[in-house]
Amino acid sequence: MSPLSRSSHALVTGGGRGIGLAISAALSKAGATVTVLGRNRATLDEAVASGAAQFAAVADVADQASVKSAIAEAAARQPIDILVANAGAADSSPFGRSDASLFQRMMDVNFMGVVHATQAVLPGMTERRHGRIVAVASTAGLKGYAYVSAYSAAKHAVIGLVRSLALETAKSGITVNAVCPGFTETDLLEGSIDNIIKKTGRSREQAIAELSKHNPQGRLVAPSEVADAVLWLCGEGAGAITGQAIAVAGGEV
């Protein structure tokens, strides 16, 4: 993939940690100007200080007004060419104990967060007839997992959105894709590991093995591997790739 230039402005939601931080660092290293968006100012400032990003914007992706305002401010500084809608949350619960508020919370963050960010950047991309939109979904959007029905439903919705929007934008110079990581070594996964330990009494090693067994390679995915897939989709060489949901999961899907 050709290196990106500083004239390319990438905005990464949830870009201050985990997969989002790895993506921000990869885009910045490739030459793009990167703005990280999230709720925690200190985490975002750390990303900027580390060189993973050049600017930070504070907003809750579930709040349309705050996302619209933050992205407008970032776009006024430099038009946004790349959106990586990465922000997400994963709450687990048996379906019988998953109430409406859990489903709403998972949809607000994991699905509507993608919608809000995309609606904020799409008019400018359409006007300039160029753009890259990448949603970080999950293998949970391609298959089911027990005890995360709300999360899985939200990620399935993201992939449906990607496929539909790709058709609407196909002649506009904009591509819309999703990457679908399997279980990845992040602080978000640490919560799942702690949950397994708490509920089953297993050791940390056993909990990790329980998650790794889904991956035919027998391991967790590295955030950098997800970032590499996103980086390729953001480059000129991926101009014919749109409407895809690419699994980064060691052959699981």
Q: Mind listing the pLDDT tens digit for each residue in 201-247?
A: 888 888 788 788 889 999 999 999 999 999 999 999 999 999 999 99
Residues near 155 by Cβ (< 8 Å), separated by ≥ 6?
Answer: 110, 111, 137, 138, 140, 141, 180
Report which DSSP code applies to 176: E
- Residue bearing the bigger pLDDT, 161 or 214: 161
Cα(72)–Cα(84) distance, integer angstroms: 16
Residues near 45 by Cβ (< 8 Å), separated by ≥ 6?
Answer: 56
Distances (CA, A) of 150 to 166, 195, 201, 236: 25, 17, 25, 35
Whether 151 is a known active-site residue: answer: yes
Q: How confident is the model at residue 126, as a pLDDT?
A: 98
pLDDT exceeds 50 at position 151: yes
Cα(106)–Cα(104) distance, integer angstroms: 6
Please choose, from the candidates 145, 148, 178, 175, the residue with its C-alpha nearest in 3D space to the C-alpha of residue 161: 178
pLDDT category of residue 68 using cuts at 50, 70 and 90: very high
Average pLDDT over residues 23-49: 97
Q: Using an 8 Å Cβ cutoff, are 28 and 54 in contact?
A: yes
Average pLDDT over residues 84-88: 97
Q: How confident is the model at residue 6, as a pLDDT?
A: 59
Q: Using an 8 Å Cβ cutoff, are 184 and 19 in contact?
A: yes
Cα(185)–Cα(211) distance, integer angstroms: 11
Annotated catalytic residue, options 55, 111, 151, 183:
151
Average pLDDT over residues 64-75: 98
pLDDT exceeds 80 at position 3: no
Please choose, from the candidates 152, 157, 163, the residue with its C-alpha nearest in 3D space to the C-alpha of residue 253: 152
Q: How confident is the model at residue 5, as a pLDDT?
A: 61
| CATH code, 9-182+222-248 | 3.40.50.720
Q: Using an 8 Å Cβ cutoff, are 74 and 35 in contact?
A: yes
User: What does the CA dihedral 148, 154, 155, 160 come to, rounded to 10 degrees?
Assistant: 140
Q: How confident is the model at residue 1, as a pLDDT?
A: 40
Cα(230)–Cα(208) distance, integer angstroms: 25
pLDDT exceeds 90 at position 191: no
Please choose, from the candidates 65, 79, 184, the residue with its C-alpha nearest in 3D space to the C-alpha of residue 123: 79
Q: Mind listing the pLDDT tens digit for each residue in 89-127?
A: 999 899 999 999 999 999 999 999 999 999 999 999 999
Strand 55-58 vs strand 33-38: parallel, antiparallel, or unpaired? parallel
- For the beta sheet containing 33-38, the strands, ordered from the edge strand earlier in sequence to the opposite edge, are 55-58, 33-38, 9-13, 82-85, 131-136, 174-181, 245-248
